[in-house]
Amino acid sequence: MTNQTRCAWVSSDPLYITYHDTEWGKPLHDEQKLFELLILEGFQSGLSWITILRKREDFREAFDQFDYHQIAQWTDEKLQECLANPKIIRNRLKINAVKMNAQAFIKIQEKFGSFDRYIWEFVSFTPLQNHFFSHQELPSSTELSLAMSKSLKKYGFKFVGPTICYSFMQAAGLVNDHITECFCYSKK
């Protein structure tokens, strides 16, 4: 871990530093990882992202490694098992949404050929290059994240409001919101 300039939201926590340096803002095109990220962004709502990162492996274990085909077939017993799991965030609405979101994810794949194609079309398949100088300039949502939210909801997704969608866009590299001084800024 070097002393390079990073985005201001990155704490000194090695997990956060590694996430920032190796994942956040890098264009993501893997279907299962896109599904995982969208689900975790929904769970992050109202919490800090470091809380989610610390529980990510537990979420993977509880959520069948984010195998959306498997999750789409979850039984009520499996949902109850997740609700009883002390290692993850046990919010009934969010846990129930995981199954609905897996089913919606598959619908989008069937209609567009892949979720990747569907989601990246929002930015014309090229990451939007922002030029923010400070963390305070970062928006919590945009017109584009509002459009994405409306579209995802139309397909049956839950916990995909405009703020969650914008956070997803940042993390999945649809937008480059590294501050201009961050050493990751030029690494699209």
Q: Identify the DSSP state of 28.
A: -
Q: Which of the residues 16, 24, 36, 41 is marked catalytic?
A: 41
Q: Which of the residues 19, 118, 120, 166 is marked catalytic?
A: 19
Q: Which of the residues 23, 49, 155, 181 is marked catalytic?
A: 49
Please answer whether residues 70 and 64 qualify as being in contact, where contact means their C-beta atoms are separated by less than 8 angstroms. yes
Cα separation, 129 vs 110, whole angstroms? 30
Q: Which residues pair with 176 in a beta bridge?
A: 129
Does residue 49 carry a catalytic annotation? yes
Does residue 155 carry a catalytic annotation? no
Does residue 9 carry a catalytic annotation? no
Burial of 134 from C-beta contacts in 10 A (0-12 / 13-18 / 19+): exposed
Catalytically active residues are 19, 41, 49
